[in-house]
Amino acid sequence: MEVVIGLERPRVALLSNGVEATKGTEDVQAAHAALADAAGLRFTGNVEGFAVGTGEADVIVTDGFTGNVFLKVMEGTADALLRAVRAGIARRATTDGTAGGVVLSASLGWASAPPLASVAEATTAADERAVQDKRRRRAGRRTDTPS
């Protein structure tokens, strides 16, 4: 593990619906017991979903289904947040020199605040491309064919 994340003894936690050892399905409880008994493992116990990314653990263990659902939720949340930020920039980054537009423009490397229309058009185009890409990926995974 040291090679992967640079830690000799990373803190390992189990993703569950509560921090207590008795929380979760039978499989999660069995995994908790096995991890707790594993020699040489720095097992810190269960963590809930909100703890991912907080630094409570260096490695979080989960089953494939739960991990996949968790990753999809994180992807969706990140996408929604990014779209909200873009929309906020499009509303505020105007050429009238508002403080928010000027600060955002400088932090984004724009010489001056771009015209509202160009930001909105770029945001809309990027959102449309993302939706189309997502649809193409979903269509490629389908094993059934519609009649």
Per-residue pLDDT of the chain (147 residues; tens, 9 = 90+): 567 778 888 999 999 999 999 999 999 999 999 999 999 999 999 999 988 889 999 999 999 999 999 999 999 999 898 888 877 776 665 544 555 555 665 566 555 544 545 555 555 666 677 778 878 888 876 655 554
In a domain, residue 146? The reply is: no
Q: Which residue type does 123 have?
A: T
Which domain does 108 fall in, by range?
A: 65-141
Predicted confidence at residue 11, as pLDDT, reads 94
In a domain, residue 10? The reply is: yes
Using CA atoms, how far apart are residues 132 and 126, in angstroms rounded to an integer? 10
CB atoms within 10 A of CB 117: 10
For residues 15 and 49, the answer to whether their CB atoms sit within 8 Å is yes
- 80 shares its domain with 25: no
CB atoms within 10 A of CB 13: 25
Radius of gyration of the chain (CA): 22
Tokens 């009238």 -> residue: 96
